[in-house]
Amino acid sequence: MKPAPTLLDRLTGSAMFSLDDRMRFGRKVATASIAASALLATANIAIGLRAGSTSVVAAGIELAGDVIASTLVLVAMFLASRPADRNHPYGHGRIEILAGLSVGFILAGGGVGICWRSLQEIQQAHAPPAAYSAVPLLAAIIVRGGMSTFKFRAGRNIGSVSLVADAWNDAVDILSALAALVALGLTLLDPARYLAADHYGGFAVGLFVIYTGGRVVRDASVDLIDTMPQPEVIDDIRHAATAVEGVLGTEKCYARKTGLKYYVELHVAVDPRMTVEESHEIGTRVRSHLRSVLPSIGDVLVHIEPAYPVRDG
């Protein structure tokens, strides 16, 4: 009977896909996202300019930034899938994390620009926007809703930081489009009183983008600075190690994420009367067993310790 997936597998989707499969799947999702973002951005900017709506143009500029962000994610996935080499013994997975970090900075910078542009036009006298300018906003809300849900699920299943960052990007698109739609609705309802609401809607879009950019930067930084995974992940590693014959307990256990893989440093306690060769063989079996039962582990550095007495935890 196939063992139930551990938390480590569930977090990274390794029980479902191989590393190559996960990378290919992530690239397909990113490619589809680029195409959808390009269409939505073109529609919002073109119709927003024609209809004279600041909030719709702001939403379109944000979507154009999404094209850049998703392209960055796609390129990073291609580079991160390259195998380990002499200069990169841990592989190239950190490129994928850096892409997520870059997406966050792009979002934050774009949000500042949108806020500034929206406030610059508040005092300008102009005709109210046309009612049809709401159409691209509604399209963006519907399409982004589906894309965000799918990318969140896909990114978490395959353990992709940059794809989850892109999903947050889509989620803020929904909120910002809703804010723009409400502001546009107020302007259309009573142009004499709420003409500036359309511009404030654009400013609200910018604030949503800045907030999301900060959140994406924070989430990507967690992996970049080698933050330890959840305690349950470490428990899975310890449990798998103690299942190996000859292991009397575990001591230190550290893990850090590089791309879609975890790299582990583990101290195991063995009978101190063993020869160096025998204890080394146990270490080899621990490394092999962990990589076999927990496919999300890229590699394991096993340290052998004498059990004086056995210490676990």
| Mean residue pLDDT across the chain | 77
246 contacts: CB under 8 Å, gap ≥ 6: 270, 271, 274, 278, 282, 285
Query: pLDDT tens digits, residue range 62-100?
Result: 778 778 777 777 777 777 767 777 887 777 777 777 777
Report how far residue 177's alpha carbon sits from residue 204's, in angstroms, rounded to the nearest whole number: 10
Q: Report, in angstroms and rounded to the nearest whole number, the Rg of the chain calculated over CA atoms.
A: 25
Scan for tokens 């270490």, then name that residue: 283
* Residue 216 φ then ψ, to 5°: -65, -40
Residues facing 297 on adjacent strands: 262
**Residue 244: which of 275, 299, 285, 295 has the closest Cα?**
285
**Residue 61: which of 122, 110, 132 has the closest Cα?**
110
Half-sphere exposure of 188 (CA within 13 A, CB side): 18
Domains of the chain: 7-224 (1.20.1510.10), 231-306 (3.30.70.1350)
How many other CB atoms are there within 10 angstroms of residue 113's CB atom? 15
Report how far residue 67's alpha carbon sits from residue 2's, in angstroms, rounded to the nearest whole number: 41
Return the structure tokens found at 127. Answer: 């005709």
Query: pLDDT tens digits, residue range 257-284?
Result: 876 678 889 999 998 888 899 999 999 9
Query: pLDDT tens digits, residue range 5-57?
Result: 444 444 444 444 555 666 677 677 778 878 888 888 888 888 888 877 777 78
Scan for tokens 């930067």, then name that residue: 217
**Residue 58: which of 201, 227, 261, 226 has the closest Cα?**
201
Would you place residue 230 in the very low, low, confident or very high pLDDT band (cuts 50, 70, 90)?
confident
